[in-house]
Structure 1
Amino acid sequence: MSDPNQPGYGYPQQPGQNPYAAQGGGPQGQPAYGYPQQPPMGGAPGPYGATDPNAPFGYDRYGRPFSHKSKIVAGVLQLFIGTLGIGRFYTGHVGMGVAQLLTCGGFGFWALIDGIIFLVSDERTDSDGRILRS
């Protein structure tokens, strides 16, 4: 039986040698296979990045910034006065608001469906691409 502490059994020849270097491995201690090192949960640092303590609105679990506008307010506005496109104007989508205003909210159907989707969806964004708050 071979000794597991001997060279050739998967251990480096010398104390500082990378055992995966022949296989194209990374720095000492990282294997040559698998996925690359991922950034910390929440995204990359930077101006208002997920690790920035001065971020004004916070972040969701995927590191996307929150808007200061609420999806509940947008949904209620859209349900009650959506034929005027008010929910879309509130979120900053002026073009969609004008289209709803001109079509009376798609005769009410577009406004009703849009209001329900505002209330139940977690993926709605404002005009700057930030996720609406719950």
Structure 2
Amino acid sequence: MSAPPSSAPPGSGAPYSPTYQLPVSGVPTSGGYDPYGQAAYAQPAYGVPVAAGAPAYDPVTGQPYSDKNKLVAGLLQLLPSLFFLLGGIGRLYAGNIALGVTQLVLSVVVGWVAFVCGFFLFIPFLVSGGLWLWFVIDGIMMLAGRPVDGEGRPLRPN
């Protein structure tokens, strides 16, 4: 048998269940409860180990930091490109696979072939010089800017 229909409009009852009430003191009675719906205990994001004294979240955006270091990624992008016209290593380290493989293939196939052929023509020197400039500027931007890893998380600061 079902209960008789209520004559009160829906939603006119008590705003909360009488069994669910905040403590009188405002302090949680059991650990892990927060009346504002936030996590009571900080957990490391994505299982990333947090170094001692290093913040786990970017203070500007509030996003969790990547486990990759910004300085390492920038130097891996900048130094091989400066000396060997080899770009993309820093991007591969940071997890930007598509851009890293593109830069690596362009540097080996187009850049080095254009440099070798440049001894006979002038235009291939412009191609390899343009690639070199792209890789160097990308490395400087990784060092000075706010680069992100392959998952969109900001790289851990120096």
Unaligned ranges ≥5, structure 1: 1-39
Aligned to 1:114: 138
Q: 1:125 to 1:45 in 2, by over 3 A?
A: farther
Q: TM-score under structure 1 normalisation? A: 0.57
**Secondary structure, counterpart of 1:132 in structure 2:** coil
- Larger RCO of the pair (alpha carbons < 8 Å, separation 6+): 2
Q: 1:119 to 1:52 in 2, by over 3 A?
A: farther
Q: TM-score under structure 2 normalisation? A: 0.49
Counterparts of 1:45 and 1:89, CA distance in 2: 35
Aligned to 1:130: 153
Aligned to 1:63: 62
Paired positions, count:
87
Matched-pair identity in %: 41
Counterparts of 1:45 and 1:131, CA distance in 2: 23
Deviation at 1:52, TM superposition (A): 5.0
2:86 aligned with 1:88: no
Aligned to 1:24: none
Counterparts of 1:117 and 1:101, CA distance in 2: 18
Deviation at 1:71, TM superposition (A): 0.8
Counterparts of 2:41 and 2:90, CA distance in 1: 31
Task: For 1:1-134, list aligned pairs within 5 A.
Answer: 45=38, 53-55=42-44, 56=48, 57=50, 58-61=56-59, 62-82=61-81, 83-104=86-107, 107-121=131-145, 123-134=146-157
Q: Which amino acid aligns with 1:76?
A: L
**Structure number with bigger Rg:** 2
Return the structure number with greater helix share: 2
Unaligned ranges ≥5, structure 2: 1-35, 51-55, 112-129
Q: Which contiguous aligned blocks of 4+ residues in structure 1 show a shift greater than 2 angstroms?
A: none
Counterparts of 1:112 and 1:45, CA distance in 2: 43
CA RMSD of aligned residues (A): 2.4
Return the structure number with greater strand share: 1
